Homo-oligomer: A and B are copies of this chain.
Amino acid sequence: MSSHPAKQANGSHLAKQAGGSPLAKQAGGSPLAKQASGSPLAKQRLRVWLRLLAAQREMESHLRARLRKRFDCTLPRFDVLSALERHRDGLRMSDLSTKLKVSNGNVTGIIDRLVGDGMVVRASVDGDRRAMRVRLTPAGVIWFGDMAHEHEIWVDELLAGHDAGDLEQLIAQLSRIGEGENDE
Protein backbone atom coordinates (compact mmCIF):
# COMPACT_ATOMS: atom_id res chain seq x y z
CA MET A 1 0.00 0.00 0.00
CA SER A 2 1.32 3.34 -0.79
CA SER A 3 3.43 5.03 -3.29
CA HIS A 4 6.25 7.44 -3.10
CA PRO A 5 7.43 8.58 -6.43
CA ALA A 6 8.45 11.82 -4.88
CA LYS A 7 10.93 12.73 -7.50
CA GLN A 8 10.32 11.19 -10.82
CA ALA A 9 13.04 10.19 -13.15
CA ASN A 10 13.28 13.56 -14.60
CA GLY A 11 16.50 14.55 -16.20
CA SER A 12 17.32 11.32 -17.98
CA HIS A 13 15.70 9.73 -20.97
CA LEU A 14 12.07 10.61 -20.59
CA ALA A 15 11.03 13.63 -22.58
CA LYS A 16 9.01 14.94 -19.69
CA GLN A 17 8.42 18.62 -19.33
CA ALA A 18 9.96 21.24 -21.51
CA GLY A 19 12.82 21.74 -19.13
CA GLY A 20 12.98 25.51 -19.13
CA SER A 21 10.22 27.15 -17.16
CA PRO A 22 9.29 25.35 -13.98
CA LEU A 23 5.69 26.40 -14.32
CA ALA A 24 4.13 23.97 -16.74
CA LYS A 25 3.30 25.42 -20.09
CA GLN A 26 -0.20 24.08 -19.81
CA ALA A 27 -0.20 22.20 -23.05
CA GLY A 28 -3.65 23.46 -23.83
CA GLY A 29 -5.48 21.27 -26.27
CA SER A 30 -4.49 17.65 -25.87
CA PRO A 31 -6.47 15.88 -23.17
CA LEU A 32 -3.51 13.68 -22.52
CA ALA A 33 -1.27 16.64 -22.02
CA LYS A 34 0.88 16.52 -18.97
CA GLN A 35 -1.16 19.04 -17.16
CA ALA A 36 -0.22 19.60 -13.57
CA SER A 37 2.78 17.40 -13.89
CA GLY A 38 5.55 19.45 -12.42
CA SER A 39 3.60 22.10 -10.60
CA PRO A 40 4.59 22.90 -7.04
CA LEU A 41 1.02 22.28 -5.96
CA ALA A 42 1.06 18.80 -7.45
CA LYS A 43 4.28 18.10 -5.60
CA GLN A 44 2.74 19.31 -2.39
CA ARG A 45 -0.22 17.04 -2.93
CA LEU A 46 2.13 14.16 -3.42
CA ARG A 47 3.79 15.05 -0.15
CA VAL A 48 0.44 15.08 1.60
CA TRP A 49 -0.41 11.68 0.19
CA LEU A 50 2.85 10.25 1.44
CA ARG A 51 2.30 11.73 4.87
CA LEU A 52 -1.22 10.44 4.99
CA LEU A 53 0.03 7.03 4.12
CA ALA A 54 2.81 7.14 6.69
CA ALA A 55 0.45 8.26 9.43
CA GLN A 56 -2.06 5.57 8.59
CA ARG A 57 0.56 2.85 8.50
CA GLU A 58 2.07 3.99 11.75
CA MET A 59 -1.24 3.84 13.56
CA GLU A 60 -2.42 0.67 11.90
CA SER A 61 0.75 -1.14 12.70
CA HIS A 62 0.52 -0.22 16.38
CA LEU A 63 -3.12 -1.16 16.59
CA ARG A 64 -2.62 -4.43 14.77
CA ALA A 65 0.23 -5.47 17.04
CA ARG A 66 -1.69 -4.65 20.18
CA LEU A 67 -4.84 -6.36 19.00
CA ARG A 68 -2.85 -9.42 18.16
CA LYS A 69 -0.92 -9.62 21.40
CA ARG A 70 -3.74 -8.74 23.72
CA PHE A 71 -6.67 -10.44 22.02
CA ASP A 72 -5.20 -12.62 19.31
CA CYS A 73 -7.38 -10.78 16.83
CA THR A 74 -6.63 -9.16 13.50
CA LEU A 75 -7.73 -5.74 12.35
CA PRO A 76 -10.01 -7.04 9.59
CA ARG A 77 -11.82 -9.25 12.08
CA PHE A 78 -12.14 -6.33 14.45
CA ASP A 79 -13.63 -4.22 11.68
CA VAL A 80 -16.21 -6.81 10.83
CA LEU A 81 -17.19 -7.25 14.45
CA SER A 82 -17.45 -3.51 14.80
CA ALA A 83 -19.86 -3.24 11.91
CA LEU A 84 -21.93 -6.08 13.30
CA GLU A 85 -21.97 -4.53 16.74
CA ARG A 86 -23.72 -1.52 15.31
CA HIS A 87 -26.28 -3.73 13.65
CA ARG A 88 -27.31 -6.31 16.16
CA ASP A 89 -30.10 -7.42 13.86
CA GLY A 90 -27.45 -8.57 11.45
CA LEU A 91 -26.01 -7.58 8.11
CA ARG A 92 -25.82 -9.26 4.76
CA MET A 93 -22.49 -10.22 3.31
CA SER A 94 -22.87 -7.52 0.69
CA ASP A 95 -23.70 -4.92 3.35
CA LEU A 96 -20.47 -5.80 5.07
CA SER A 97 -18.36 -5.49 1.97
CA THR A 98 -20.01 -2.19 1.14
CA LYS A 99 -19.55 -0.75 4.61
CA LEU A 100 -16.00 -1.93 5.00
CA LYS A 101 -15.17 -1.17 1.38
CA VAL A 102 -13.53 -4.48 0.74
CA SER A 103 -14.35 -7.12 -1.84
CA ASN A 104 -17.06 -9.72 -1.42
CA GLY A 105 -14.69 -12.61 -1.52
CA ASN A 106 -12.65 -11.02 1.19
CA VAL A 107 -15.62 -10.80 3.53
CA THR A 108 -16.47 -14.43 2.85
CA GLY A 109 -13.12 -15.55 4.16
CA ILE A 110 -13.15 -13.35 7.25
CA ILE A 111 -16.66 -14.44 8.18
CA ASP A 112 -15.73 -18.08 7.65
CA ARG A 113 -13.00 -17.74 10.23
CA LEU A 114 -15.14 -15.79 12.67
CA VAL A 115 -17.81 -18.45 12.38
CA GLY A 116 -15.16 -21.03 13.09
CA ASP A 117 -14.28 -19.12 16.24
CA GLY A 118 -17.91 -18.96 17.29
CA MET A 119 -18.05 -15.17 17.22
CA VAL A 120 -20.63 -14.76 14.47
CA VAL A 121 -23.29 -16.88 12.81
CA ARG A 122 -24.71 -17.01 9.31
CA ALA A 123 -28.46 -17.32 8.91
CA SER A 124 -30.54 -17.44 5.80
CA VAL A 125 -32.69 -14.47 4.92
CA ASP A 126 -36.24 -15.40 4.22
CA GLY A 127 -37.63 -14.07 1.02
CA ASP A 128 -34.24 -14.30 -0.63
CA ARG A 129 -32.45 -17.56 -0.70
CA ARG A 130 -29.33 -16.03 -2.18
CA ALA A 131 -28.59 -13.80 0.77
CA MET A 132 -27.08 -14.52 4.16
CA ARG A 133 -27.58 -12.54 7.33
CA VAL A 134 -24.58 -12.41 9.62
CA ARG A 135 -24.92 -11.71 13.31
CA LEU A 136 -22.73 -11.56 16.40
CA THR A 137 -23.07 -14.42 18.83
CA PRO A 138 -23.22 -13.59 22.55
CA ALA A 139 -19.57 -14.56 22.74
CA GLY A 140 -18.88 -12.21 19.88
CA VAL A 141 -20.62 -9.34 21.62
CA ILE A 142 -18.56 -9.82 24.74
CA TRP A 143 -15.31 -10.28 22.90
CA PHE A 144 -15.83 -7.22 20.77
CA GLY A 145 -16.86 -5.15 23.77
CA ASP A 146 -13.61 -5.88 25.52
CA MET A 147 -11.56 -5.14 22.46
CA ALA A 148 -13.37 -1.96 21.52
CA HIS A 149 -12.81 -0.58 24.95
CA GLU A 150 -9.06 -0.99 24.78
CA HIS A 151 -8.95 -0.03 21.17
CA GLU A 152 -10.41 3.35 21.97
CA ILE A 153 -7.73 3.89 24.57
CA TRP A 154 -4.99 2.95 22.14
CA VAL A 155 -6.25 5.38 19.55
CA ASP A 156 -6.51 8.05 22.19
CA GLU A 157 -2.89 7.49 23.08
CA LEU A 158 -1.72 7.48 19.49
CA LEU A 159 -3.35 10.83 18.91
CA ALA A 160 -2.57 12.23 22.33
CA GLY A 161 -0.54 15.03 20.78
CA HIS A 162 -3.59 16.43 19.05
CA ASP A 163 -5.99 18.68 20.92
CA ALA A 164 -9.60 19.43 20.05
CA GLY A 165 -8.61 22.11 17.56
CA ASP A 166 -6.17 19.87 15.76
CA LEU A 167 -8.71 17.11 15.56
CA GLU A 168 -11.32 19.40 14.15
CA GLN A 169 -8.91 20.55 11.47
CA LEU A 170 -8.05 17.00 10.59
CA ILE A 171 -11.65 15.89 10.39
CA ALA A 172 -12.48 18.81 8.16
CA GLN A 173 -9.59 18.22 5.79
CA LEU A 174 -9.85 14.45 5.69
CA SER A 175 -13.58 14.49 5.16
CA ARG A 176 -13.11 16.20 1.87
CA ILE A 177 -11.00 13.43 0.44
CA GLY A 178 -13.41 10.55 -0.13
CA GLU A 179 -16.01 13.24 -0.82
CA GLY A 180 -19.44 11.80 -0.64
CA GLU A 181 -18.60 8.59 1.12
CA ASN A 182 -20.01 8.25 4.55
CA ASP A 183 -19.99 5.12 6.60
CA GLU A 184 -23.15 4.40 8.53
Please state if B58 and A159 are interface contacts (CB–CB under 8 Å). Answer: no
Q: How many copies does the complex hold?
A: 2
Question: Closest residue of chain B to A63, judged by CB?
Answer: B3
A20-28, A90-98, A114-122, A124-132 - interface stretch? A20-28
Which of B19, B59, B159, B160 makes the CB contact (< 8 A) with A157? B19
Whole-angstrom distance between the alpha carbons of A18 and B86 in the complex? 22
Known: A9-B85, A9-B148, A21-B157. 6 other contacts (CB 8 A): A1-B76, A12-B141, A14-B146, A37-B153, A58-B101, A169-B169
Residues of A within 8 A of B (CB): 1-10, 12-14, 16, 18-24, 34-39, 41-61, 63-64, 67, 75-76, 78-79, 82-83, 85-86, 100-101, 141-142, 144-153, 155-164, 166-171, 173-179, 181, 183-184
